[in-house]
A and B are shown apart, each in its own frame.
Chain A
């Protein structure tokens, strides 16, 4: 029971990171019908920027929360600039092109980001200075740290804010209109290009926050970290129903829990034949199962031809 609860807690923390990254995929997919392959790598850039800032300021004597805020702020700014530039250069000219074309540019951008990051930060793992001293809480036999609680609560706050923003604000309304039908939205006076740029801005900013969380949680950053994270977040978005913002959050949490439980128990269940070194497989298995059994995801609408 203790282990079970522990895995659920770990899964929720992991899941809240997946959910934040998944939001970036799902918002862009909803509005452009495009899988933004480069999103995972934008998150990676955010993580590494935050790492660099934190490392530079670690010995400056500033209070830890301030360093964290500065690092996160820098990451968010860089990611927003990246996201908007990428949309402008690689996706906007191809908006009316055959579907394969923007997908291939997205893959190209993803590779470019990875190897540019390798040039800047090198290919070794970079470690994060410890800013938050681990303090443990114990609930019902399972323990969690202050950091885990912070990640979970912050992620929930960001998601709630985003949901409210999309539902209530003027720009959010424009985003929803563009998602339904860009041409008609344009006729109604919505500036399509600005709305799409803004979607990328939101997705990248939320992704940057997720990136900061990853380096805080694992204490490490790497130029290739965006790939697996991106794959899993995309799986989470599909699981929740791609294009659906609330679905991405649900999918992220669920995937985190599934992964954590599966990799925690796989050794016992298979009598030691398969170990936790297979943990990365579960996301792909979930993805394939969802796409086969229910391509529209848990909260998506049944639109038949979409998948």
Chain B
């Protein structure tokens, strides 16, 4: 929000220059990273872009509408599986990408409504548990739907998923543009970047829209919101469906990018990781959520260096880096809630709310003392 405001305050010419510079930076980024840090880091950036989309989707449900969803990864799974099943040797179907991606989004949205409908009357903590159960149910089904008819191929997952292909351009091929080599990771970067930017744009516009304000009103006080004429049922369902759509799209992209998916990728811990991104960055603030997604995708990669470090210092590996990551996630959730509940980059409304709460308490204490 604030960033956009700052931009608007600039005179038009400077605004364009800033935009142009940012665009140039984003275009050059994968090639620069490739040259200096190596191709694995380009891949990490690709994954970070996917997680930005995912986190923005969860932010609609948790951040805007205030509905704590602990099974969000299920929508990611639904999107990924609906793409993978229709574009792999599993059923010998190879549908076109441009058709399958919207289809995956639609299927995910339907699942979002299916989850939302029975849980509409529930609040906060109950909702959290039901969504958690829903996520687990989806995973258990994915794991077991290989018998008696093999649909999901069970725990082995689906392999050889078609890469992204539009018209004659396949992203699995390497292209050269003059002296520039465009490897698959680079092409995926641009596709994901476009999608992530679109998600950011949609999120920002949604936040300021009639619907977005209705979500925030429901988050603040559902009773008051419905008294103001908001159809809370439809608006909450819309939040679920919209969040699920984001998840479905990124799931489809994830499946085509990885070429392989299995139920392993869609566990509760993944849901919690996405939740961490939203909480850490700042619930309800688009910029904060993007920041959270980038930080938490980069973190495990940075932690990869911890293993050899331990080896060097202690002679053996005490803490497995992936466990360390989970320990850090857990501490981050606790510490953020205790010391900075609005996130690293809080939204203005949230900050105001929390400040008001403090004021009331302070006044009460002052009264009691006086």
CA distance A287 to B361 in the complex (A): 37
Q: Is the CB of B327 within 8 A of A115?
A: yes
Q: Which residue of A lies closest to B117 (CB)?
A: A292
Interface residues of A in 284-299 (CB under 8 A from B): 284-285, 287-288, 291-292, 295
Interface residues of B in 275-334 (CB under 8 A from A): 275, 279, 283, 318-319, 323, 326-327, 329-334
CA distance A94 to B134 in the complex (A): 28
Shortest distance between the CB of B305 and any CB in chain A (Å): 19
Q: Which residues of A contact B272 (CB under 8 A)?
A: 107, 111
CA distance A231 to B135 in the complex (A): 13
Q: Is the CB of B122 within 8 A of A112?
A: no
Shortest distance between the CB of B64 and any CB in chain A (Å): 13
Q: Is the CB of A93 within 8 A of B338?
A: yes
A35 is an interface residue with CB less than 8 A from chain B: yes
Q: Which residues of A contact B129 (CB under 8 A)?
A: 35, 231, 234, 238, 287
Q: Which residues of B contact A94 (CB under 8 A)?
A: 337-338
Q: Which residues of B contact A115 (CB under 8 A)?
A: 323, 326-327, 330
Within 8 Å by CB of B323, from A35, A97, A119, A288, lies A119
A116 is an interface residue with CB less than 8 A from chain B: yes
Q: Is the CB of B327 within 8 A of A291?
A: no
B237 is an interface residue with CB less than 8 A from chain A: no
Q: Is the CB of A104 within 8 A of B323?
A: no
Within 8 Å by CB of B130, from A93, A101, A109, A291, lies A291
Point out which of B122, B123, B124, B272 has the most chain A C-beta atoms below 10 A from its C-beta.
Answer: B124
Shortest distance between the CB of A293 and any CB in chain B (Å): 9
How many residues on the B side are at the interface (Cβ–Cβ under 8 A)? 47
Interface residues of A in 94-121 (CB under 8 A from B): 94, 96-105, 107-112, 114-116, 118-119
Q: Which residue of B lies closest to A273 (CB)?
A: B148
Interface residues of B in 185-200 (CB under 8 A from A): none
CA distance A216 to B353 in the complex (A): 50
A227 is an interface residue with CB less than 8 A from chain B: yes
Q: Is the CB of B140 within 8 A of A101?
A: no
Shortest distance between the CB of B269 and any CB in chain A (Å): 8
Q: Which residues of B contact A227 (CB under 8 A)?
A: 268
A307 is an interface residue with CB less than 8 A from chain B: yes
Q: Which residues of A contact B279 (CB under 8 A)?
A: 104
Within 8 Å by CB of A231, from B123, B126, B132, B332, lies B132
B118 is an interface residue with CB less than 8 A from chain A: yes
Q: Which residues of A contact B8 (CB under 8 A)?
A: none
CA distance A231 to B268 in the complex (A): 12
Q: Which residue of B lies closest to A280 (CB)?
A: B140
Q: Which residues of A contact B144 (CB under 8 A)?
A: 275, 277-278
Q: Is the CB of B332 within 8 A of A108?
A: yes
Q: Which residues of A contact B361 (CB under 8 A)?
A: 96
CA distance A275 to B136 in the complex (A): 17
A84 is an interface residue with CB less than 8 A from chain B: no
Q: Which residues of B contact A99 (CB under 8 A)?
A: 124-125
CA distance A275 to B357 in the complex (A): 52
B89 is an interface residue with CB less than 8 A from chain A: no
Q: Is the CB of B333 within 8 A of A111?
A: yes
Q: Which residues of B contact A104 (CB under 8 A)?
A: 68, 275, 279, 333, 336-337
B119 is an interface residue with CB less than 8 A from chain A: yes
A77 is an interface residue with CB less than 8 A from chain B: no
Q: Is the CB of A107 within 8 A of B333?
A: yes
Interface residues of A in 120-161 (CB under 8 A from B): none
A189 is an interface residue with CB less than 8 A from chain B: no
CA distance A34 to B337 in the complex (A): 15
Residue interface bits A259-302, CB-to-B below 8 A is 1, else 0: 00000000000001101011011011101100110010000000
**23 CB < 8 A contacts A-B:** A89-B334, A96-B357, A100-B283, A102-B337, A103-B68, A103-B128, A108-B330, A111-B330, A112-B327, A114-B326, A115-B323, A119-B318, A235-B133, A277-B144, A278-B140, A281-B140, A284-B137, A287-B129, A287-B133, A291-B118, A291-B126, A292-B119, A307-B123
Interface residues of A (CB under 8 A from B): 34-35, 89-90, 93-94, 96-105, 107-112, 114-116, 118-119, 227, 231, 234-235, 238, 272-273, 275, 277-278, 280-281, 283-285, 287-288, 291-292, 295, 305, 307
The 10 residue pairs across chains A and B that have the minimum distance between CB atoms? A108-B333, A111-B330, A284-B133, A112-B330, A108-B334, A35-B125, A115-B326, A105-B337, A292-B118, A108-B330
Interface residues of B (CB under 8 A from A): 66, 68, 70, 118-119, 121-126, 128-130, 132-134, 136-137, 140, 144, 147-148, 268-269, 272, 275, 279, 283, 318-319, 323, 326-327, 329-334, 336-338, 341, 353, 357, 361
